[in-house]
Structure 1
């Protein structure tokens, strides 16, 4: 377990990154239990509070944030907040 402080910006980035992943997994008929639980957990943590995340949850967050970052880069959009969140997870 690792504690990460979730600011409003980080919560927003995580939820924006996890939602498309959740929908994609559901559309493919894969299990959505883990991303669904993670979304609920992140959503329930008050802003500017620390929350404990397992290695598996952090791995899922890294994958989805990196995917969001790469999509934004491909569109020429601003990525500093996503980059900051990725650094926070390492």
Structure 2
């Protein structure tokens, strides 16, 4: 199942900030990171304010990593509105 999501410049930045630590953590653990790497490249290559198709697996990965980023920021008492906005777009 594919779903179209509109990515603004800010949302692209938030997604990349969420996915990068996950990618490097998984890589350090010796896990396969090919799919995460492809998703990072896909998001990075998209023009801002355009709709893009994402698979259910890609959306699940984005939700998971954004939620991790949001929870890390909340635990530090940091601002999370941008991550919250992006999570709402994915639901």
TM category (shorter chain) comes to over 0.9
The residue aligned with 2:49 is 48
Query: Which secondary structure does the structure 2 equivalent of 1:2 belong to?
Result: strand
CA distance in 2, matches of 1:20, 1:82: 15
Match of 1:86 in 2: 87
Q: Please give the alpha-carbon distance, in whole angstroms, between the structure 1 residues aligned to 2:47 and 2:36.
A: 19
Which runs of no fewer than 5 residues in structure 2 stay unpaired?
none
RMSD value over aligned CA atoms?
Answer: 0.3
Are 1:16 and 2:17 matched, yes or no? Answer: yes
Structure 1 residue runs without a partner (length 5+): none
| CA offsets 1:28-76 (integer angstroms, 9 cap, x no match) | 0000001000000000000111100000000000000000000000010
- 1:47-86 matches, cutoff 5 A: 47-86=48-87
Alignment length (residue pairs): 90
Residue 46 of structure 1 aligns to a residue in which SS? coil
TM-score (norm 1): 0.99
Q: Give the Cα–Cα distance (whole angstroms) in 1 for the partners of residues 5 and 74 of structure 2.
A: 25
